[in-house]
Structure 1
Amino acid sequence: MIEQILDAAELLFSQHGLYGVTLKDVAKHVGVHHTLINYYFDDKKALFDQVFARRAVVTSERRMRMLEEYEKASKGKPTVEGALRAFLDTDLDLYIEGGEGWRNYAALASQVANTPGWGAQMMDEHFDPVVLRLVGILKKALPDAAAEDIFWGYHFVTGALVLTLARTGRIDELSGGLCRSDDFVAVKERMSSFMAAGFMAICKQRMPAAH
């Protein structure tokens, strides 16, 4: 029953956000009385937090493992694109292979990531360790780059990822159907290469000139 409740809440939260859903809405979607939801969860925020944490731990642990494996395989010579692929492709694979539940979570995560205050705090709590591991590898790949440029680069990466996960449909309209916002395979083929080039551009332009 818990999984049914979490699945229903995930779908509803992904569509309407934290404040657009009530516990009664979740109960109705599951087909139970709302008192059953209250039995398992103290309030709506407690339900929301568990919905978010359920998949956050999966993607965070998978990406951490892939970053560790990549760093070991690179033998001290990581590349920007290699690090980004370990981080981005691993996450995108979940949305490609994981079915509609994971895609609902993707939309939900994009909302949380763009919410100041409590949303940013949730992202910090669940994802800071894996993000900082990525940043550490990027610093090894670009040892002469300014630290702020690497953090800005990550900022731009996560912005593009979050927009992609939101599946707004805007690129579908702009491209006349050539591109689809739910085509995570197409995104995976392009995003890491695109972002790696951006990292190199902003970092190299500020690196000290060689003598």
Structure 2
Amino acid sequence: MTTGPPDPLTGSAAAPAGVYNVANLLTMVRIALVPVFVWLLFAEGTGGRLAALAVFAVASITDHIDGELARRRNLVTDFGKIADPIADKTLTGSALIGLSVLGELWWWVTITILVREIGITLLRLVVIRYGVIPASKGGKLKTALQILAIGLYIMPGPLDPLRWTTMGAALLVTVVTGLDYLVQAWRLRRETLSGGVGGTV
């Protein structure tokens, strides 16, 4: 559990947030929406596609809302730290795989993005003993481009040039930010070890 900032009146630390809070509830809603989204994605007709797009949009919005709530209302929990990235990867991963199964997105694009996302998630678990690398603007741009590109692929209509361009940008930023994270993780480990901390930061 994360202890909150000191109370301005008493000077003591605020009580840690419980697992059952609105931020974690939104995270669980996002996970629950994934099978609904997949089912609609494979449904026939324009109506199914539009419904899938609506569910994907709602789930994506909850990702932003739960993060803001957790930070502003001191609702950060260990459960949320684990469940939130799982929910994100499950949503985008199921969308990418589903589009590739339908033959609408090249498999090499899906595989490249998934390898980056899963690999960096695992790397975070490895380097956490040395310290935390804060989220970068590039990472936020990567997420925004991925969501926009996936949304364009889900949306029915003759939008191929726009889809390709946006997905190409998302893929480029995904790879570049992944490489940047690798460099930062290597530097963090090197600096920690050279400082004689022994990886206990």
Larger % of helix: which? 1
TM-score between the two structures when normalised by the length of structure 2 = 0.40
